[in-house]
């Protein structure tokens, strides 16, 4: 369960939310939760949750170079002391910051080199969706990503399928049909099996993201092949996020 807080929370609010969640999540809840605050709050959120086994910290992005003259950017070496996870290739990065699959692949490699789990986002936009091209677009993205991985490293990443038209910040967004989302997961697993062999099908971790809330999370989580969720808007209020985590936990215990 990955909570993408985007730019929604002030430093103070991020610390309060992390503290509240730490208290709220029951010890027997099996869900691995990753909180992704903005860069300035990574260290302090990591400090707040450090004694929690179930909650970890992730970054929302990282630069594709390890070091260099990149004004305003943040390197993997700078996030490494605080995070075990990092989102890469989020559709907002791809759309507004011109990130390509090549950038995403470079970032993924850098994160793996430093022992940070990349949460790699893929997904089709509204136009592709309406044109019935979702499977082709996602298959092409995934094939390119997988070409940069091995039978070992493919299990060190987490994929997040996020249909861009379903992300709640888009005023026209609508949640995906859970069965349709599960079909895309199946497609991704088929490609993985073709490239890496049968055992990959069980071990590959894939999340669904896009307008997931406490009302819809179970509908996604009961689908075969959906291992977790990447939540944006519904993750910034601790009570709501705590509810989502509790629901996922009940399904898995
Ligand atoms: P959402 O965002 O849950 O608000 O749709 C998901 C995301 O952008 O990762």
CB distance 248 to 31 below 8 Å: yes
CB distance 120 to 99 below 8 Å: no
pLDDT band at 231 (very low <50, low <70, confident <90, very high): very high
CB atoms within 10 A of CB 59: 25
Taking the C-alpha atoms of residue 89 and residue 106, their distance in angstroms, rounded to an integer, is 11
The verdict on pTM exceeding 0.95 is: yes
pLDDT at residue 200, rounded to an integer: 86
pLDDT at residue 46, rounded to an integer: 97
Of 211, 229, 236, which is best to mutate to test ligand 1, by the most ligand atoms within 8 angstroms of its C-beta? 211
To which residue do tokens 């789990």 refer?
A: 117
Segment 94-107, tens digit of pLDDT: 999 999 999 999 99
- The stretch 216-234 carries a mean pLDDT of 96
Segment 8-44, tens digit of pLDDT: 999 999 999 999 999 999 888 899 999 999 999 999 9
Segment 109-124, tens digit of pLDDT: 999 999 999 999 999 9
Q: Is 72 helix (H, G, I), strand (E, B) or coil?
A: coil
pLDDT at residue 26, rounded to an integer: 84
Atom index in ligand 1 nearest the CA of residue 166 equals 5
CA of 79 to the centre of ligand 1 (A): 22
pLDDT at residue 130, rounded to an integer: 95
């Amino acid at each position: 369960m990955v909570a993408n807080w985007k730019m929604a929370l002030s430093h103070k609010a991020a610390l309060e939310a992390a503290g509240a969640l730490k208290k709220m999540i029951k010890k027997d809840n099996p869900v691995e939760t990753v909180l992704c605050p903005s860069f300035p709050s990574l260290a302090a959120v990591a400090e707040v949750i450090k004694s929690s086994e179930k909650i970890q910290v992730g970054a929302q992005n990282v630069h594709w170079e390890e070091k260099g003259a990149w004004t305003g950017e943040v390197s993997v070496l700078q996030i490494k002391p605080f995070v075990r996870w990092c989102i890469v290739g989020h559709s907002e990065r791809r759309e507004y910051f011109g990130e390509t699959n090549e950038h995403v692949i470079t970032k993924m490699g850098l994160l793996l080199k430093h022992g940070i789990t990349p949460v790699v986002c893929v997904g089709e936009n509204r136009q592709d969706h309406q044109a019935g091209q979702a499977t082709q677009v996602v298959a092409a993205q995934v094939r390119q990503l997988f070409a940069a991985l091995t039978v070992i490293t493919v299990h060190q990443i987490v994929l997040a399928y996020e249909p861009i038209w379903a992300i709640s910040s888009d005023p026209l967004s609508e949640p995906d049909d859970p069965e349709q989302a599960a079909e895309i997961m199946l497609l991704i697993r088929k490609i993985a099996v073709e490239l890496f062999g049968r055992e990959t099908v069980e071990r590959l971790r894939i999340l669904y993201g896009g307008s997931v809330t406490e009302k819809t999370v179970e509908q996604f989580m009961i689908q075969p092949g959906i291992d977790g969720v990447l939540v944006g808007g519904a993750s910034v209020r601790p009570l709501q996020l705590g509810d989502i985590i509790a629901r996922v936990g009940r399904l898995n215990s």
